């Protein structure tokens, strides 16, 4: 490959021109076709059995995620002006092309089931806005008497009411998001308005994600420029190293756009990732060039480039291949954002490799390099590098301390790994004091909750859901969930309809707020409702054949722990339902989010095992030694353990963002091992002396690794300025991983190389 590169570089200006033209084309495609995707459903494999079932049930019961608009009047909502706003906003929402009129629920549209002399009737709470105090109090009393509305559409302190507008999955857009916010704002004063719900959370993510990326990239660039100028001591070298990473980012996003792959929330990490990773090859190339020029100050450009490519093309290719493997291993994940992140980061790393081996040498040939003074030498003619030599000897001298500390840290980290948990919450991607979180909290404090879990009960025969025994079991389950879980705000089912009907048909006596004893009576009540009310509301809790029922649990949190706690209580009733010939399943966005977390964990385990296995094989083939493969993998294994252990100890959950930590640790960390072992092998074959080999390796690769680790750590620490907490966690964890990878390479791996006589024969000196 070295010969191929040198042949291509015979025309360096053409090489530069071709690279610039292709990059310009990618940039154009990226600019025209890049789209942001935040719909959680689009993150998931639609052919997964759980998602297929959930989607089927969502269609049966018309389950839709909704926008929740809360209207607060500290003096009480039963004011003419406030109720007029409820009516007007309800009607305006219903007229929007993205919202079906029937899918808007508020105090103005809600059904009020009441008893009459002739039987049962279903009426609106009000059609004309009440104006007199008597009319307002009459409305208030109607709401208080209806358990299906009081506490659900009107808060128990009667200072807040909500409007819920349900949406189809494919109608939400950035334009619609801003229209909703603008519409609500136009109604403000003196009432306060709060907008929440899954679409709003996703819309806010789509709005803030690109802005956060635009803020992060310049900061990362600035930090890396400053460090590169300090490390490389050359404006030219810094510029071409930056061009490598900028072009690799453009190529990666350009290819995503060309294949119509959207930018997911986690994809916003890709530029920071490639910028931090892409400088590695440039640092190693220029470090090698610097050492060459110090001993050959009069070398020509061609001689310098030839020596650089001869000595460095192999480790640059090897590190790029191993890094790409670390990211390609994410293809085992069924979670689309993680899968695509791995795929296009690997492509970006490969592009950065090509630019490093073509753009940097071509730049040197065309624009030259910074002249260096000869390296100072000692009296005996040896190059002085006292720090590297002292460090190399110090590691050997204090090997027992190094081993003891490593074992202790790994032991603590293994304990921490047992505490790692997974979370797919979208809401917890935001700051706790952000407007979106505070709004969600306000609504959760006054109502049942903005997140939902749907329990699907399927009977073995039609009409089963009219059975008193079945309905009582459903009601019993609801009571247990309501009483035992603070995270649950409300539950709702067909049982609530029957209890309400039974009560109003018996003069509103509280004793009759229960399930009727007769299946025939239940059937009569339901028929009356179908005739006098809106049966579409009924079909949201039961199917037309009364064979499948939908029980909705409202949760005050969308994280995995909340959903699992609710499911655990439902599972206690599974046996009782099965005795009645009813199976228990789950559906809805809350349940799909839970399955999503399991897929994240499953994907992480697969990618970690696969990438380690492949990297050991690659290192074995590269260095023609199985021991080299094992020894080279030691730093990244330790790094992965420490990374996950830290997450567990600090209660940082695995998410679509932090789930990338193992692949990043392996993908980037293995670079250090490859460069170190390659240089060690070269010196071992040249000198046959272990002491000189170790000192020379520490001087050459150890030096470059320190520079590389410094740049990568600084680049990822910039993520601490992100508006999203998971991004900040990722930045801190990756920085920690890079430090432990670097330290593990120059200590533990160094010791293993020293003690195993790898690449040395029996005649080695200074064993």
Map out the domains of the chain as residue ranges. Answer: 1-33+212-369, 63-202, 391-420+625-767, 444-590
Class of the CATH-defined domain 391-420+625-767: mainly alpha
Whether 1-33+212-369 shares its CATH topology with 391-420+625-767 is answered: yes
* Number of CB atoms found within 10 A of residue 15's CB: 20
Give yes or no for residue 377 having a pLDDT over 70.
Answer: no
Q: What is the pLDDT of residue 761?
A: 57
Q: Which of 31-35, 383-387, 761-765 has the weakest average pLDDT? A: 761-765
* Per-residue model confidence as pLDDT tens digits over 491-514: 999 999 999 999 999 988 888 899
Does residue 299 come out as left (phi exceeding 0), alpha (psi in the -120 to 50 range) or beta? beta
Q: What is the pLDDT of residue 476?
A: 95
CATH H-level, domain 1-33+212-369: superfamily:
Multidrug efflux transporter AcrB transmembrane domain (1.20.1640.10)
Average pLDDT for residues 245-268, to the nearest whole number?
Answer: 87
Beta strand spans in 399-514 (E): 451-459, 488-492
Class of the CATH-defined domain 63-202: alpha beta
Give yes or no for residue 312 having a pLDDT over 80.
Answer: yes
Specify which of 394-408, 414-428, 587-601, 716-730 reaches the highest per-range mean pLDDT. 394-408
* Per-residue model confidence as pLDDT tens digits over 201-224: 777 776 777 777 778 778 888 888
Instruction: pLDDT band for 434, please (50, 70, 90 cuts).
Output: confident
Q: What is the pTM of this model?
A: 0.74
Mean pLDDT, all residues of the chain: 85
Instruction: pLDDT band for 662, please (50, 70, 90 cuts).
Output: confident
Average pLDDT for residues 414-425, to the nearest whole number?
Answer: 84
* Per-residue model confidence as pLDDT tens digits over 465-474: 999 999 999 9
SS3 content of the chain, % helix, strand, coil (to 5): 65, 10, 25
| CA separation for the pair 197, 444 (Å, rounded) | 11
* Per-residue model confidence as pLDDT tens digits over 238-254: 999 989 989 999 999 99
Structure tokens at 262: 């959207």
Give the number of C-alpha atoms closer than 13 A to the C-alpha of residue 292, restricted to the C-beta side: 22
Structure tokens at 614: 């492949």
Q: Which of 12-16, 87-91, 179-183, 206-210 has the weakest average pLDDT? A: 206-210
């Amino acid at each position: 490959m070295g010969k191929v590169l040198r042949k291509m570089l015979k025309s360096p200006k053409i090489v530069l021109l071709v690279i610039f033209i292709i990059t310009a084309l990618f940039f154009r495609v990226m600019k025209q076709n890049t789209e942001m995707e935040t719909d959680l459903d689009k993150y998931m494999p639609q052919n997964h059995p759980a998602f297929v079932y959930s989607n089927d049930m969502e269609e049966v019961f018309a389950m839709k995620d909704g926008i929740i608009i809360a209207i607060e009047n500290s003096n009480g909502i039963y004011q003419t002006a406030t109720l007029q706003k409820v009516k007007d906003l309800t009607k305006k929402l219903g007229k929007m092309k993205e919202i079906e009129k029937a899918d808007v629920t508020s105090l103005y549209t809600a059904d009020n089931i009441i008893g009459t002399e002739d039987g049962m009737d279903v009426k609106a709470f009000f059609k004309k806005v009440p104006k007199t105090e008597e009319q307002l109090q009459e409305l208030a009393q109607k709401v208080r008497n209806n358990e299906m509305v009081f506490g659900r559409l009107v808060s128990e302190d009667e200072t807040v009411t909500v409007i819920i507008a349900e949406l189809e999955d494919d109608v939400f857009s950035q334009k619609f998001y801003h229209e909703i916010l603008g519409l609500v704002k136009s109604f403000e004063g003196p009432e306060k308005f709060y907008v929440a719900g899954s679409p709003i959370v996703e819309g806010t993510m789509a709005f803030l994600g690109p802005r956060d990326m635009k803020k992060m990239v310049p900061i990362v660039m600035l930090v890396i420029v400053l460090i590169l100028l300090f490390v490389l001591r050359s404006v030219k070298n810094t510029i071409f190293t930056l061009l490598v990473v900028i072009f690799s980012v453009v190529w990666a996003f350009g290819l995503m756009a060309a294949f119509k792959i959207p930018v997911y929330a986690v994809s916003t990490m890709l530029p920071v990732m490639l910028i931090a990773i892409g400088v590695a090859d440039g640092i190693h190339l220029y470090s090698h060039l610097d050492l060459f020029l110090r001993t050959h100050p009069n070398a020509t450009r061609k001689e310098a480039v030839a020596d650089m490519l001869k000595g460095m093309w192999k480790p640059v290719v090897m590190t790029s291949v191993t890094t790409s493997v670390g990211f390609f291993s994410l293809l085992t994940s069924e979670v689309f954002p993680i899968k695509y992140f791995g795929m296009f980061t690997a492509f970006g790393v490969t592009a950065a490799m090509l630019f490093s081996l073509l753009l940097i040498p071509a730049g040197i040939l065309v624009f030259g390099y910074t002249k260096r003074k000869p390296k100072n030498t000692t009296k005996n003619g040896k190059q002085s590098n006292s720090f590297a030599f002292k460090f190399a000897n110090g590691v050997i001298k204090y090997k027992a301390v190094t081993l003891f500390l490593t074992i202790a840290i790994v032991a603590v980290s293994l304990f921490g790994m047992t505490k790692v948990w997974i979370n797919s919450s979208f809401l917890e991607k935001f700051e706790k004091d952000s407007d979106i979180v505070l709004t969600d909290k306000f609504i959760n404090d006054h109502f049942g909750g903005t997140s939902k879990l749907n329990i699907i009960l399927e009977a073995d025969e039609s009409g089963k859901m009219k059975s008193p025994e079945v309905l009582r079991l459903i009601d019993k389950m609801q009571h247990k969930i309501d009483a035992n879980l603070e995270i649950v705000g409300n539950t709702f089912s067909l049982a609530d309809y029957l209890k309400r009907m039974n009560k109003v048909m018996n003069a509103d006596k509280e004793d009759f707020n229960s399930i009727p004893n007769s299946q025939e009576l239940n059937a009569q009540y339901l028929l009356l409702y179908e005739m006098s009310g809106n049966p579409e509301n009924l079909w949201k809790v039961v199917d037309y054949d009364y064979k499948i029922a939908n029980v909705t649990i409202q949760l005050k949190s969308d994280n995995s722990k909340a959903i699992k706690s609710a499911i655990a209580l439902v599972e206690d009733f599974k046996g009782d339902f099965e005795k009645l010939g009813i199976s228990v399943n789950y559906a809805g966005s809350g349940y799909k989010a839970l399955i999503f977390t399991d897929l994240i964990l499953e994907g992480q385990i697969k990618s970690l095992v696969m990438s380690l296995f492949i990297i050991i094989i690659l290192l074995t083939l590269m260095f023609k030694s199985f021991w080299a493969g094992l020894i080279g993998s030691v730093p990244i294994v330790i790094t992965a353990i420490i990374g996950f252990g830290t997450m567990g100890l600090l209660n940082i959950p695995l998410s679509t963002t932090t789930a990338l930590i193992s692949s990043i640790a392996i993908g980037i960390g293995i670079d250090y091992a490859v460069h170190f072992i390659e240089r060690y092998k070269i010196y071992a074959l040249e000198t046959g002396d272990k002491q000189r080999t170790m000192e020379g390796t520490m001087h050459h690769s150890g030096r470059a690794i320190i520079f590389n680790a410094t740049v990568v750590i600084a680049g990822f620490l910039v993520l601490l300025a992100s508006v999203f907490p998971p991004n900040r966690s990722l930045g801190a964890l990756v920085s920690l991983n890079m430090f432990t990878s670097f330290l593990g390479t120059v200590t533990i791996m160094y010791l293993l190389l020293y003690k195993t006589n790898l690449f040395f024969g029996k005649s080695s000196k200074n064993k």
